[in-house]
A and B are shown apart, each in its own frame.
Chain A
Amino acid sequence: MKKLIFIILLLTPWFWSLKFPLDLLKINLREDIKEARLMVEWERGKIPIKFSNVLFSNWPMKIISQRLDVVLENLDIGNYFFSGHPRERVGVKEIQKFFFFELILLIVGFTNSNIKKYKKFLIIYSVISLLFVFVFKWRSFYQTLPLSVPFIILMALGLEKVLKWPKKWLILFGSMAFFEILFFCILNLKLFIK
């Protein structure tokens, strides 16, 4: 059944029209090296030239650390549930990717024993996608969409567990989700109409 759904999704031209981020696999190493060299030159221009300057302040290290910074940005749950606020990232238009109540689903998802079934997939997929993030510096909304897969699986696992909660807790959670969606719709009503 799951496979069939997947095949139909693939065969639907409607989804084909969705914007595909053209810069997904774009890499401009020459530009990166130039930028890193400038940064290092600035730093070294201010301090006496010694062996330690080269050892602790060099352009290959700058390039690696810049890429690692982007990986860490992608691991920041604030960027998914709170649209990056309060620390907005320079050069990135922050858009909230999930509802806040889904964060609860995500956390609960980790405690679902069925996670074992998906453990290997989740780890391998996450590691590969983070590797892509490292190489191609994925930062923007569209570029980070592939990372939503493990989130959605974990949230689904969370929802599975939440649905088994006692009725009063379920009603509380359901109301919270309902009001958040309602609030979101009201605030964005004008935007939808336009």
Chain B
Amino acid sequence: MKKHLNKIILLVLIILGSFVRLNKLGTGGIGFFRDEAAMGLNTWSIIKTGADEFGHSFPLFFRSFEVFFMPAYEYLSVPFFLLFGPTEFSTRVLSAFSGILLIFVAYLISKEFFKSERIGLFSAFVVSIAPWSIFYSRGAFEGNLALLFFSIGFYFWLKFFNSNKNKLFFVSLLFFVLSMYSYQAPRFVAPLFIAFSILLNKNWIKKLKLWIFGGIFTLLLYFPILIFSFTPAGNHRALGVSIFSSNNPVPGYNQQYGNWQKLYLFPKEVLSLYSHYFSPMNLFSKSDYNPQRIVPNFSVFYLWMLPFLLIGLINFLKLKTKNKKLLILWLLISPIPAALTRDPFHTYRSILFYIPLSILIGFGISKFIDSFKKYRIFVLLSIVVLSLYSLSSFFFNLFKVAPVTLWREWDYGYKEITDYVKTQPNDLRVVIDDPYTESYIHFLFYGVVPLKEYQKEALLIVADKYYKSSEELRPKKVGRFEFRVVDWPSERGDRNTLFIFPSTRLYPSEFSTDPNLTLVKTIYSPGGDPAFYLIKSVK
């Protein structure tokens, strides 16, 4: 009966996790971010034309706005696009499924690690309701897919260390490599984790042959990506955001004393950034520095989870388990790539860090309940009530508060704009005022700008520089559509043109009194403020 009960609880957790991840997935009301649109468009483009937005056939890195995305998310999204077409839901659903599967994988890891089904269930419970996991499962975040692959890899790695079956070693390597095909952070974390967990093994030399075969196997799998490692496609992202490539001086740097100071200041800066990933303030209160990656009033975990993390950590350190070092390694290595970048507390770059923390919280809850022998049910019930309240509050902030406060960060309004443009005659010139010229991706995604026409123009510009250059190489004009900064005083007289302005870039007084211009539509934000002005000139 107990065995069945555990299975039922796990099933309930997975159903709960699925509900919170899939509910209103495509229509959350907050918007559809440009990176999501880029990934979705490229998947759709591969299906329709066998090439990406630049007309490049089956690329190994997907180039969008001078950023190179790892390819797994785009290719693995193909079945969802075939099923549901090019929609926001199809773009996000792979990440949502990764989040749902993570609940089960967290259960498996904990069960294998602590040899306890109960701790496994508590870990699964934490992952199913944790703000970080819900948030990253509800957007098209390739990092969430990478986390899933890395966690599966870790599970088989753990099983291999526990059972010594060589087959498991190779299965584990396969998943680690898959995580490296999905997101940038595992490209650094996975090799480091593998190397250290082998070297920390006292008898590692005895299995030298196996490690060599494993190395060859990994290199073969990773070879297609590896050959691009020294091109901008392979390293532009890492170099671009690295602390070492930043033009800003290191904090504390005094120009009077010369460069020798950096010997001390750089390591200190890296350690400072690294320590921020262990800060209770960041993990339980303040969260990410970028508003696009937060849900108002929430952090990575709920505040009530902090004592359980401490209990879990203290008991974990006391634990005498054979493979304790593996979880410690995961915990210590995973924030390193994020700490080597100049941004403070980047929850996305450190996404691999949150599974071991969730497992420790789950372990802490289990230990806490154990210490209340008589009142176990009461304590458990209190945690369930607290979780339900936190979850409801989280969704209140996600669905009600975030759309009115963070719509701009989530590129809200482009769907409404494209819906309007679709109703307009085919000879109408459309000029979109956009200093970053990145809004083209939404017009492509929603099928307003013809994909093949765009590919033709883009291919001419990018030519053979697809992987070789990180410069801005994309057309600013495709057919009747233009994406650029509008010089309003000189262009306002242009005939038969639809001008699209973000409300922050044009005052109503600049067009309302002109008889040759008509404000045909105002796109309002979820909070009721004007987001975009659509102004039409006379024919």
Interfacial residues, chain A to chain B (CB-CB below 8 A): 43, 46-47, 52-53, 55-57, 65, 68-69, 72-73, 75-78, 81-82, 85-87, 100, 179-180, 183, 186-187
The distance in angstroms between the C-alpha atoms of A72 and B392, with both chains bound, is 24
In the complex, are the beta carbons of A85 and B264 less than 8 A apart? no
Q: Which residues of A contact B289 (CB under 8 A)?
A: 87
Interface residue ranges of B247-274 to A (CB < 8 Å): 251-252, 254, 257, 261, 264, 268-269, 271-273
Q: Which residues of A contact B392 (CB under 8 A)?
A: 52, 55-56
Q: Which residues of A contact B268 (CB under 8 A)?
A: 82, 100
Q: Told that A69-B285, A72-B279, A100-B268 touch, could you supply 6 new A-B pairs with CB distance under 8 A?
A: A55-B393, A72-B286, A75-B281, A82-B275, A86-B269, A187-B261
The distance in angstroms between the C-alpha atoms of A115 and B405, with both chains bound, is 48
The distance in angstroms between the C-alpha atoms of A186 and B345, with both chains bound, is 31
CB proximity of B318 to chain A, nearest CB, Å: 13
Query: Given A46-B527, A76-B279, A82-B275, A65 and B297 touching (CB < 8 A)?
Result: yes
In the complex, are the beta carbons of B276 and A183 less than 8 A apart? no
> Per a CB cutoff under 8 Å, which of A46, A82, A100, A179 touches B405?
A46
Query: Given A69-B286, A78-B279, A86-B344, A56 and B303 touching (CB < 8 A)?
Result: no
Tell me which of B64-72, B173-181, B394-402, B440-448 binds A: B394-402
Query: Given A56-B393, A69-B286, A78 and B272 touching (CB < 8 A)?
Result: yes
Residue B404 at the A interface, CB < 8 A? yes
Residue B280 at the A interface, CB < 8 A? yes
The distance in angstroms between the C-alpha atoms of A179 and B527, with both chains bound, is 55
A78 nearest in chain B by CB position: B275
Q: 1/0 contact trace for B392-429 toward A, CB 8 Å?
A: 11001100110011000000000000000000000000
The distance in angstroms between the C-alpha atoms of A77 and B273, with both chains bound, is 11
How many A-B pairs with Cβ below 8 Å?
A: 84
Q: Which residues of A contact B264 (CB under 8 A)?
A: 179-180, 183
In the complex, are the beta carbons of B271 and A82 less than 8 A apart? yes
Q: Which residues of B contact A187 (CB under 8 A)?
A: 252, 254, 257, 261
Residue B358 at the A interface, CB < 8 A? no
The distance in angstroms between the C-alpha atoms of A65 and B393, with both chains bound, is 14
Q: 1/0 contact trace for B120-132 toward A, CB 8 Å?
A: 0000000000000
A-B contacts, 27 listed (Cβ < 8 Å): A43-B401, A46-B405, A46-B528, A47-B401, A47-B404, A52-B396, A55-B392, A56-B392, A56-B393, A72-B281, A72-B284, A72-B286, A73-B281, A75-B280, A76-B279, A76-B282, A77-B279, A78-B275, A85-B272, A86-B272, A86-B273, A87-B286, A87-B344, A87-B345, A100-B268, A183-B261, A187-B257
In the complex, are the beta carbons of B257 and A76 less than 8 A apart? no
The distance in angstroms between the C-alpha atoms of A11 and B195, with both chains bound, is 58
Q: 1/0 contact trace for B271-302 toward A, CB 8 Å?
A: 11101101111101110010000000100000
In the complex, are the beta carbons of B251 and A85 less than 8 A apart? yes
The distance in angstroms between the C-alpha atoms of A56 and B252, with both chains bound, is 42
Q: Which residues of B contact A180 (CB under 8 A)?
A: 264
